[in-house]
Amino acid sequence: MSNNHGFNKLYNDYEGCEDCKSFSKFRVSSCPNVPTQEEAVQFIPAYGSIYNVAGGNPTIDPNVNFDTVGPSSGTTPSTIDDSITVNSQGVYTVTFTIELRASSGGISNNIIFRLSINGTPLATKQIEYQTFVTAANIEVDLVSRTDQLALNQGDVIRVAIVSSTGVITYDNAALVVTKVA
């Protein structure tokens, strides 16, 4: 009885690529440098972005206002409803960045942003910004958050403004969605 478990084709008999001959003396399957049918399925990238260059006032709109569409493929970014819709199911990295300007002497300024999926703000996916600005000063800060989320085809992503107190405005906001799996 043989112990070769059916792997009896020596590498010298294999007429595949040269690299395959150096892997082992026995040919177990086809050359590992050639993708199998399962490996040949390619990942199709999906991404999209929207930006705010002009600025916004959090007391006017319940969502961050975006005025510029960036590059996209496999998503539908929209400045009309300030959102990005994903066109395929998968795991996505969602990054939100915004520059905040707080002023007003002697009072506390506070704003809370939450990532929103299909109109529902996610309490665990938020940025809270708070500052106390003294008289005649302006404080400018950049805040950002990145999350990985399992999203379904058709999910609509927005950034909701949950609350705002004091005198805060924003500009240079960006919402970027990238499919990673």
| Residuewise pLDDT in 10s, the chain (181 residues) | 445 444 444 444 445 555 555 544 544 455 555 555 555 567 789 999 999 988 888 877 789 999 999 999 999 999 999 999 999 999 999 999 999 988 876 678 889 999 999 999 999 999 998 888 777 788 888 999 999 999 999 999 999 999 988 888 899 999 999 999 9
Q: First vs last Cα of the chain: how many Å apart?
A: 46
Res 31: pLDDT: 52
Cα gap 24→103, rounded to integer Å: 70
Q: pTM (2 decimals)?
A: 0.75
Who contacts 17 (Cβ-Cβ below 8 Å, separation ≥6)? 31, 33, 34
- The CA distance from 176 to 178, in Å, is 7
Task: Decide if domain 47-179 falls under CATH 2.60.120.40.
Answer: yes
Domain residue extents for the chain: 1-42, 47-179
CA distances from 1 to 4, 8, 26 (A): 9, 13, 18
pLDDT at 26: 47
